[in-house]
Amino acid sequence: MKIPHIIRLLRPKQWIKNLFVFAALVFSHHLLEWDIAKQSLIGFALFCATASTIYIINDIIDRDRDRLHPKKKHRPIASGNISVPSAMSTAIIIFGVAIPIVFGLPYKFGFCLALYFVMNLSYSLFLKEVVLIDVFVIAIGFMLRVIGGAFVINVPISSWLILTTMFLSLFLAVAKRRGELVMLEAKVDVDKKPKESTRKVLQHYSVEFTEQLCTICAGGFVISYALYTVSDRTVKIFGTENLVFTTPFVLYGIFRYLYLLHKKNLGENPTEVVLTDIPMILNFIAYAAAMFFIIYFHS
């Protein structure tokens, strides 16, 4: 096995999703405390290891179907660059290294990580073919990252923040389904018949249906976030009401994503959109800077 193929097998680009583990660290006012931040880093690394293990298992299960996909056919297992036994050995090694570390952390975090693993394994095996449940599993995965991030540093977390995470992750998951549908409709055979999708659950969705779901989830996300910034608990913890002024950044992020979704036909890969769109990146940097100064230097 070549190192580049192993790295691609682990899908490090997808690790950006695990940054949600740090939400509790930032919003609990402990970001500048190294002993606590170190625990969050360990939690982040364990979620990355668990996610990579799931990705490997998923790629093994879907290798034949991935070979029919224009992009997924280049994945290490589907392309034949890494054999199934080698991929399984890699997954076992990663998982074997992670387990002893988990036992040194709060048991609630371990339970959260185990639930994340079992749920995503179930998703790879059969839940990804169940309409609506497929996107809810993705959303719950993000919620478990946030909750696990709180458990690993033993701090409470706002229910509003959990709701905000749920709506955001549902929005991204549904937008991904819409992107896949648009891409599928754009590709037709010579006889004008639509090509069969490698994701069977898409037959239960339509572009119009996913657009309605996107609208609901986007609205729920913005409202939940705004209510979180002005809730009594938030104001009491941070000693300021100025967190509400970060809402425009959140609104712009949603508007920009919807623009890319509808006008640029992007959205099939949310991670790629977030990492490659310059206005989105600049908006996130501005949001992070505003959050940091409001939370830690508001006085």
pLDDT tens digits, one per residue of 204-252? 999 999 999 999 999 999 999 999 999 998 888 888 889 999 999 999 9
- pLDDT of residue 105 exceeding 70, the answer is yes
Q: Are residues 45 and 149 in the same domain?
A: yes
* Inter-helix orientation angle 34-61/133-152, to 10°: 150
Q: Which of these three, 129, 156, 183, is where a domain ends?
A: 156
Q: Are residues 80 and 213 in the same domain?
A: no
DSSP 76-101: TTTTTSS-HHHHHHHHHHHHHHHHHH
- pLDDT of residue 269 exceeding 60, the answer is yes
Looking at per-residue pLDDT, the higher value among 162 and 196 belongs to 162
Q: Are residues 118 and 177 in the same domain?
A: no
Token output for 215: 């609208």
Q: What is the CA radius of gyration of the chain?
A: 20
What's the CATH code of the domain at 90? 1.10.357.140
Q: Which of these three, 103, 131, 156, is where a domain ends?
A: 156
Q: Please, which pLDDT band fits residue 196 given cuts at 50, 70 and 90?
A: low
Spatial separation of the C-alpha atoms in residues 152 and 156, rounded to whole Å? 11
Q: Are residues 24 and 141 in the same domain?
A: yes
Phi, psi of 33 (to 5 degrees): -105, 110
At a CB cut-off of 8 Å and minimum separation 6, what does 132 contact? none
**Which pLDDT does position 93 carry in this prediction?**
93
Q: Which of these three, 156, 181, 215, is where a domain ends?
A: 156
**Which pLDDT does position 244 carry in this prediction?**
93
- pLDDT of residue 191 exceeding 50, the answer is no
Spatial separation of the C-alpha atoms in residues 89 and 235, rounded to whole Å? 49
At a CB cut-off of 8 Å and minimum separation 6, what does 160 contact? 224, 225, 227, 228, 231, 234
**Which pLDDT does position 199 carry in this prediction?**
75
**Which pLDDT does position 275 carry in this prediction?**
82
Spatial separation of the C-alpha atoms in residues 151 and 165, rounded to whole Å? 16
pLDDT tens figures, 108-139: 999 999 999 999 999 988 998 999 999 999 99
What is the distance between the terminal CA atoms of the chain, rounded to a whole angstrom?
Answer: 55
Which range scores top for mean pLDDT: 59-68, 229-238, 277-286? 277-286
